[in-house]
């Protein structure tokens, strides 16, 4: 029986940690739930930590002290990240995806949770150490990138709208030049959406010149927020100098103009390194 109860505990704790990413659970909570002593639980969690840390898809953090506990931090790094991005590059290089004006049909990929969960974990692996409190994007196609990055970081997302909603109280609006629509657009965020001094990361699905990303940086400055990093699922290779100084993308869209309207999607160079 003792042995059976230990295996049951291991399953229950593993399931709870993985299903509640980033939530700190105290050992006493687990202990009450499972009827186990702290010493047994500590041993269980040591084993779970060794198993979960091993696979490069996340890790278990134990926080000491009275307010401490254990939490699972999902990420996707190394070979797992390279495999996902390589398969996306292959899928997105299909000629049927190439749209007029040098665009790519990304929408189905963006709204497939099983893919975007992996993308969110890659971003979480890059951003977690900066301790962001919010993930910011602009509607509409940036939303899945933001939501799944926020899920893996254990924080909320904040969505900038194109129009200000009268129903959501005072808002800050700025104008920016969008590369994808090639016109001046407005982005707007209600004051109540972010407190002053918030630590944020900015994400989006696609970057050409970086006008939208720069607009988000400017809007964040209006809120007194600290932008800790910028990530996009895909960036074009040209222009090489974007309007935001630092960003990283998972995919690069090459435009091979010499041989006609030919596009090609490659994994970003930093992923090759390791």
CA-wise closest residue to 136 among 113, 164, 159: 159
Which of these segments, 10-18, 81-89, 214-222, 263-271, binds a copy of itself (CB under 8 A)?
10-18
Determine, following the binding rule CB under 8 A, whether residue 184 of this chain makes contact with a copy of itself. Answer: no
Determine, following the binding rule CB under 8 A, whether residue 100 of this chain makes contact with a copy of itself. Answer: yes
Measured from the CB atom, the residue of 167 and 259 that comes closer to a copy of itself is 167
Residue 71: partners with Cβ closer than 8 Å, 6 or more residues away: 17, 21, 22, 23, 24, 25, 60, 61, 63, 154
Residues in the chain: 274
Window 215-234: contact mask with a copy of itself (x via CB under 8 A): --------------------
How many Cβ atoms from other residues are within 10 Å of residue 216's Cβ?
A: 27
Structure letter (DSSP) for residue 66: T
Contact (Cβ atoms closer than 8 angstroms) between residue 168 and residue 190: yes
Among 24, 61, 82, 103, binds a copy of itself (CB under 8 A): 103
Distance between CA 141 and CA 204 in Å, rounded? 7
Which of these segments, 52-60, 226-234, 256-264, 265-273, binds a copy of itself (CB under 8 A)?
52-60
Give the binding site for a copy of itself (CB under 8 A).
Answer: 3, 6-8, 10-12, 14-15, 18-20, 23, 47-48, 51-52, 55, 57, 74, 99-101, 103, 105, 107-108, 111-114, 116-117, 139-140, 143-144, 146-148, 150-151, 154, 156-159, 161, 166-169, 190, 192-193
């Amino acid at each position: 029986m003792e042995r059976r109860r230990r295996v049951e505990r291991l399953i229950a704790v593993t399931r709870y940690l993985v299903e509640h990413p980033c939530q700190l659970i105290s050992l006493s909570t687990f202990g009450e739930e499972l009827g186990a002593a702290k010493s047994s639980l500590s041993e269980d969690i040591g084993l779970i930590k060794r198993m979960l840390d091993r696979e490069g898809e996340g890790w278990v953090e134990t926080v000491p002290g009275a307010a401490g506990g254990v939490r699972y931090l999902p990420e996707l790094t190394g070979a797992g990240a390279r495999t996902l991005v390589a398969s996306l590059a292959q899928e997105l290089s299909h000629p049927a995806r190439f749209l007029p004006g040098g665009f790519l049909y990304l929408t189905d990929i963006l709204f497939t949770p099983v893919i975007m969960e992996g993308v969110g974990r890659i971003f979480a692996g890059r951003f977690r150490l900066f301790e962001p409190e919010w993930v910011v994007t602009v509607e509409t196609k940036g939303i899945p990138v933001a939501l799944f990055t926020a899920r893996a970081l254990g924080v909320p997302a904040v969505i900038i709208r194109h129009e200000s909603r009268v129903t959501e109280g005072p808002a800050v609006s700025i104008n920016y030049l969008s590369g994808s629509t090639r016109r001046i657009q407005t982005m707007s965020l209600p004051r109540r959406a972010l407190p002053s001094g918030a630590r944020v990361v900015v994400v989006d699905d696609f970057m050409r010149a970086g006008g939208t990303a720069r607009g988000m940086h400017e809007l964040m400055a209006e809120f007194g927020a600290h932008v800790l990093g910028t990530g996009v699922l895909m960036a074009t290779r040209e222009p090489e100098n974007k309007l935001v100084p630092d960003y990283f993308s998972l995919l690069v869209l090459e435009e091979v103009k010499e041989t006609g309207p030919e596009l090609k999607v490659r994994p970003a160079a930093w992923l090759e390194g390791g």
